[in-house]
Amino acid sequence: MKFISPDIFLRKDSGEQTQLLDVRTPKEFEEGHIHSAVNLPLFTDEERAIIGTTYKQKGKRQAILEGLAFTGPRMADMVREASKLSGGKPLTLYCWRGGMRSGSVGWLLDTAGLDIQVIRGGYKALRKEMRKTISDTPWKIVLLGGRTGSGKTHLLHRLKEAGEQIIDLEHLAHHKGSAFGWIGESGQPSTAQFFNDLYYILSTLDSSRPIWVEAESSNIGKVRIPEEFWKHMQKAPRIDIRIPETIRIRHLVKDYGEYKIEDLIQAFTVIRKRLGGDNFKQAIEGLQRGDLDTAARLALYYYDKTYDYSREHSPNPALATFDYNVDWKTLDLAPLIRKAKNHFHG
């Protein structure tokens, strides 16, 4: 059994060279785990709670004996499962701090003849190293801005198709970043898992080339953008696109028109106070009679004010604004790409 430091592990193409195993409990794994890791828990959630109580009340020795009583009968099963998961690759293990759990499982699997390495400091040390990497790397981020309904997310993916590097933060957060953002999405990840997934995406990108990111607030639904990455975003140049309201309304109707009216009403209720009583009433009546254009126009009334305020107080240097009278599908991307590259490379 070998030990490896977090920085060395993260510098390798670990996903191809090794199979990563997280030996923490299922609950810990669910709250946040490293990309590509598979959960092979030494203890169940309930067992770990019992061991923790035993440690506090009766001491370390008794807690170890309690742990052995739980794991002893299933050691053979763990070896068989780990052998299956390895797929012929070496196995890399981590627990919370790289201590007793990963060391114990590592010893067992090493004794069984598997090629094992354990990450020093565990998940906690990995996350610390990931934060340092995100913070210290001079990412060439370009923010893509525009009012609600401008099709920024669609435009991001068109840029990707054109060979540009992008990060779709809303996709990672499973939320579109507004009172309506939860509609049609699965449950959001934890902020810890969002961070881990963002790190993985960044690790696949070339930091010497522009990376396009949609302009967001620091929170996307309940998920918070990591402070280390948010600092880069706040310094990033911003390119805005302006599209006529009629096209933006069309976008909103297309994106949200297939969802339940009850969900849309619930979302409008969240912004009721700022929308105003009369506007709220008109929006709800529009939804109920199937007039989605009216509801979308009233939603834009609220979001345009919010956007204009945030844009006015944005710390980001304004690089350019492009006015379009066409849908996002037919936008000419060349001027945007050229502007971003010229900014970073002169």
pLDDT of residue 9: 93
Name the residues annotated as catalytic: 95
Listed in sequence order, the residues at least 6 apart from 110 whose beta carbon sits closer than 8 Å to its beta carbon are: 1, 116
Q: Dihedral sign, CA of 33, 34, 36, 42?
A: negative
| Calpha distance 11→9 (Å, rounded) | 5
pLDDT of residue 6: 95
> Per-residue confidence of the chain (346 residues) as pLDDT tens digits?
999 999 999 986 555 689 999 999 999 999 999 999 999 999 999 999 999 998 889 988 898 888 888 988 889 999 999 999 998 899 999 999 988 999 999 999 999 999 999 999 999 999 999 999 999 999 999 999 999 988 889 899 999 999 999 999 999 999 988 888 888 888 899 999 999 999 999 999 999 999 999 998 899 999 999 999 999 999 999 999 998 999 999 989 988 888 899 999 998 999 898 889 999 999 999 999 999 999 999 999 888 888 887 888 788 888 888 888 766 677 788 989 999 999 987 6
Radius of gyration of the chain (CA): 25
| Calpha distance 193→188 (Å, rounded) | 10
CATH 3.10.450 for domain 137-345, yes or no, is no
| Calpha distance 147→145 (Å, rounded) | 7
Half-sphere exposure of 189 (CA within 13 A, CB side): 21
- Closest to 67 measured CA to CA, from 123, 33, 105: 105
- State if pTM tops 0.85: yes
Q: What share of the chain is helix, strand, coil (3-state, %, to 5)?
A: 55, 15, 30
Listed in sequence order, the residues at least 6 apart from 160 whose beta carbon sits closer than 8 Å to its beta carbon are: 166
- Closest to 140 measured CA to CA, from 205, 195, 198: 205
Listed in sequence order, the residues at least 6 apart from 319 whose beta carbon sits closer than 8 Å to its beta carbon are: 142, 237, 238, 239, 339, 340, 343
Alpha helix segments (H runs only) across 148-190: 152-161, 169-173
CATH 2.30.29.30 for domain 2-131, yes or no, is no
In the 8-state DSSP scheme, what is residue 97?
S
pLDDT of residue 187: 87
For the record, the structure tokens of 84 come out as 């299956």
140-145 vs 238-242, strand pairing mode: parallel
For the record, the structure tokens of 27 come out as 């609950």
Domain limits, the chain: 2-131, 137-345
Residue 262: other Cβ atoms inside 10 A: 9
Listed in sequence order, the residues at least 6 apart from 329 whose beta carbon sits closer than 8 Å to its beta carbon are: 154, 158
Whether the CB-CB separation of 14 and 29 falls below 8 Å is answered with no
- Closest to 310 measured CA to CA, from 184, 148, 130, 172: 148
238-242 vs 318-323, strand pairing mode: parallel
pLDDT of residue 99: 87
For the record, the structure tokens of 337 come out as 């790409």
Q: If phi over 0 gives left and psi between -120 and 50 gives alpha, with beta otherwise, what is residue 87?
A: left
pLDDT of residue 220: 93
Listed in sequence order, the residues at least 6 apart from 148 whose beta carbon sits closer than 8 Å to its beta carbon are: 178, 248, 252, 299, 300, 303, 304, 307
pLDDT of residue 166: 98
